[in-house]
Amino acid sequence: MQPTLRQAVLQAQQQLVSTLQIEPSTARIEAIALLNHVMHQSSRAWFLAHENDALQANNHAEFQALLTRRLGGEPIAYILGMREFYGLKLKVTPDTLIPRPDTETLVETALAKIPKHQPYKILDLGTGTGAITLAIASQRPKTSVTAVDASEAALSVAIENAATLNIKNVSFLLSNWFADLQNQRFDLIVSNPPYIESNDAHLGQGDLRFEPLSALESGADGLDDIRSIIQAASEHLNPNGWLMLEHGYNQASEVAHLLHQAGFCDVSHAYDIAGIARVSIGMSTS
């Protein structure tokens, strides 16, 4: 006898809690998401309306296959091929970093500086899925956003996301940071660069095991890429232009020091919902 959808989700929830040590509420959300994916549905309301239906054998087998991948630690975003960020549904692949809620702090900080009804040139360094670029561009249609990434595979995902979301005020460039931007200048540069220390044990744990190392690790102190960006940013900023960098929970003071050293003024921080200084900001005077 085939289980009902509710029974399948309950069993999966218990396995996820036991194996991955995640909260029961999170495990239930993940189990429903996996089942909805199998059933080609997207809402929890659909599941609730059909939870007493029998789960057909072929669908049950597919659900179990996805659940096995998740129980092995594979991020659910990669299994589903999608992650929501700032209200946008984005395609994700193992070639891209998985967008995280912490990065919405960077988006909010940027939007606070961007005029709503006039042209403004923005550069997103290391765009990955295009999450930051597309969130900003969707909220500020008068802006022109250039997104660069050194990974051709990641850049193709960002381009596909822009097309799917029909966001037009963006352009994409294959470039290692500023290398192929020539003499272009911008009013605002944003980046969520790699910032994890190369010997950090977390790189071998959880979702990070599956994400591209090049998007995570940045030298012995995690600041190699941030240093490179800060040192070159003034050459690509208009006078009084802003540089905004996401970084680790314990790196704010060092990033502020680097900004001051490079001649940036009005250096400050933006804090995430946990009260952690997640973004450092500086104004160019050149």
Binding residues for S-adenosyl-L-methionine are 126-130, 149, 177, 192
Annotated binding site: 126-130, 149, 177, 192-195
Q: Which residues contact 257 (CB under 8 A, 6 or more apart)?
A: none
Q: Which amino acid is at 145?
A: V
CA distances from 215 to 102, 131, 280 (A): 16, 14, 19
Which residues are CB-neighbours of 150 under 8 A, at least 6 positions away?
126, 174, 175, 176, 177, 214
Taking CA atoms, 29 is separated from 44, 98, 135, 260, 283, in Å, by 9, 18, 24, 44, 42
Amino acid identity, residue 126? G
| 3-class secondary-structure state, position 190 | strand
How many residues in the chain?
286
Q: Are 44 and 35 in contact (CB under 8 A)?
A: no
Binding-site residue ranges for substrate: 192-195
As beta bridge partners, residue 125 has 148, 191
Q: Let me know the angle formed at the C-alpha of 234 by 229 and 249, rounded to the nearest 5 degrees.
A: 40
Per-residue DSSP letter, 234: G
| Other beta carbons within 10 Å of 149 | 28
